[in-house]
Amino acid sequence: METKDIFERLRNGETISANDPQAYKMREAAFATKKLLLKMNCSADPDEIRNLLGQITGNEIDESVAVFTPLYINYGKHTRIGKNVFINFDCVFLDMGGITIDDNVQIAPKVSLLTEGHPIEAQERQFLIPKQIHIKKNAWIGAGAIILQGVTIGENSVVAAGAVVSKDVPDNVIVGGVPAKTLKTI
C-alpha cells in the first residue's frame, strides 16, 4: 500500500506525525518558497509581484489583485486567491492546511492566516494539525488580526483590528476581541 504524498495529506486535514517519513518534504518546500519570496518581497513592480506570487501558489494571480510586500508564506501551493483582492504589508500565511481567499477581500497590514496547529498533549506537541481557512467574498480583515486554523470568515463580514478568530464567523457581521465575538450585524 502506497502512502499518499504528505502535501495531499496536509490538504486533507490529516495530522502529520513528528516522525513521518515524508516530513522533510515540508522543509524542502518551505525553503523553495523562501527563494521566490525573497525576490517577490524585494520587488516594487506589481506585475512582477503577481507573477512571483503565482509561481509560489502554482496558480495565476489575476491582474486585479494588489499585494503590498512583504508577504510571508511558508508553502504557497495550498493558497488560492480570487479577483480584486488587496493584501497589505507584512502579512503571514501558513498555508499547509489550505487558504482560500475569495473575490473582493481586503486584508490589512500584519494579518496572520494560520492553518497549522499542534496537539495540547506534550508528548504529541511536535505533530502538525492542518485545517483550512476560508475567507469569503467581500470580507475585510483588520490590521493585526489573527485567523486560526479551521476558520471560515463569512461573506461581507469584518474582522476588527487585533482580533483573534478561533471560530467561524457568519455572513454580514463585525467580530472583534480576543477571542473574537460578534459585535454587530451589518
- Phi and psi torsions of 86, nearest 5°: -120, 125
From the candidates 118, 125, 167, 181, which is the catalytic residue? Answer: 118
Backbone angles phi and psi of 137, in degrees to 5? -50, 140
DSSP assignment of 89-133 = SSEEEE-TT-EEE-TT-EE-TT-EEE-EE--SSGGGTTSBEE--E
- 98: Cβ contacts below 8 Å, ≥ 6 apart: 11, 78, 79, 115, 130, 132, 133
Q: Is 134 a known active-site residue?
A: no
Q: Which residues are catalytic?
A: 118
